[in-house]
Amino acid sequence: MSAGRTTAPGVAAVRLGPVALRVRRRAVVATLAVLLVLVGVLTVALLTGALALPVDRVLVALAGQGSGVEQLVVGRRLQRAAAAVVVGAALGCSGALTQTVTRNPIASPDILGVTAGASVFAVLVAVRPDVVEGALGVPPQSVVGVATVLGGLLTAALLLVLSQRGGFDGFRLVLVGIGVNALALAVVSWLLTRAELESAAVAQRWLVGSLEGATGTEVASLGLVALPGLLACVVLADRLGALRLGPEVARSLGVRAGGTQVGALVLAVVLASAATAVVGPVAFVAFVAPQIALRAFRTAGPPPLAGAAVGAALLLVADTLAQSLPVPLPVGVLTSLVGAPFLLYLATRSLRRTRG
């Protein structure tokens, strides 16, 4: 490894055999800051909770010793924190991808209706387990994940068909997405009114987005989806960078723009729906995380990997905060409280720009 000459202030050029990278000081500092937040909040999350445990007992339990209760409590905390990190990363990465493909900061999977479309299928399984059992002959719980991802993909396909008129257009996709989102939410509401009271209550709680019910198996399988997804982003990074200049310029630079856009969109949908399958539609994380990453890492366009890192930190912070309130809230309520004003801020800013 040899450090090459710096080509711009604050940039180091690094070569490792055939691989040549640019490392920006800003990105290094931002990565360290995000890691610091992650480790700090993870510590808080492990040490605090409904049941007060002294620090030394937590450490003992983490080492695999201590009483059964201690191990159970700390195990639950660890699992919940892991769920926040993996789900946050998947959502943050997903949002950066959709925002890049559409070149629109407002286009995240929750605003495009992908998350809502995924929810339709999840709620369908939750409120009509008899239908699922009758049609497939398997216990409903075992298909929630697959059904949710399928719902997300179907929604994305619908979005693409409806917004594809003589070429892919990011702005049209956003408009169609807002319509599809409304439609999907209406279907969810309709399903809830037709449901038994008890299952409707379960589905309703899931719909807010909560890390409460995430099991270890679910988190691990989401990790198995998210990890290759993040690796794919590394391979895609160069092409996505060209795509940020617009699909036509990207094609002029030798990028298969259409294929890259559809590939990135499918990846984003799988990540967002898989995350939704585990914790429900946690609002605004996919939307806000890439925008924070964009500013913190000072990149030209929302960065998928940095978006994942910020998403992980963001959801962990939000959940730890939501749990520490006098009345613990589902994390989705908190992310909405933070995300909605940010959406308004971005919307008014972009309005001003198009007018000015």
184 touches 117 (CB < 8 A): yes
Q: Could you tell me which of 108, 100, 173, 341 has the C-alpha nearest to residue 349?
A: 341
305 scored as a contact of other proteins (CB under 8 A)? no
CB of 248 to other proteins, least distance (A): 4
Residue with tokens 């979005």: 159
Q: Which residues from 71-110 bind other proteins, rule CB under 8 A?
A: 103
Toward other proteins, which CB reaches closer, 172 or 251? Answer: 251
CB of 239 to other proteins, least distance (A): 7
22 scored as a contact of other proteins (CB under 8 A)? yes
Q: How far apart are CA 302 and CA 57, in angstroms?
A: 42
336 touches 116 (CB < 8 A): no
Q: How far apart are CA 217 and CA 220, in angstroms?
A: 5
Residue with tokens 């978006």: 307
- What x-and-dash track marks residues 29-68 binding other proteins by CB under 8 A? ----------------------------------------
CB of 22 to other proteins, least distance (A): 5
Toward other proteins, which CB reaches closer, 12 or 47? Answer: 12
Is the alpha carbon torsion for 125, 129, 131, 132 positive or negative? positive
300 scored as a contact of other proteins (CB under 8 A)? yes
Q: Which residues from 240-259 bind other proteins, rule CB under 8 A?
A: 241-242, 244-246, 248-249, 251-256
- Side chain identity at 58, as an amino acid letter? V
Which uninterrupted H or E stretch holds 139? none
| Residues near other proteins, by CB under 8 A | 4, 7-9, 13, 18-22, 103, 165-166, 235, 237-239, 241-242, 244-246, 248-249, 251-256, 298-301
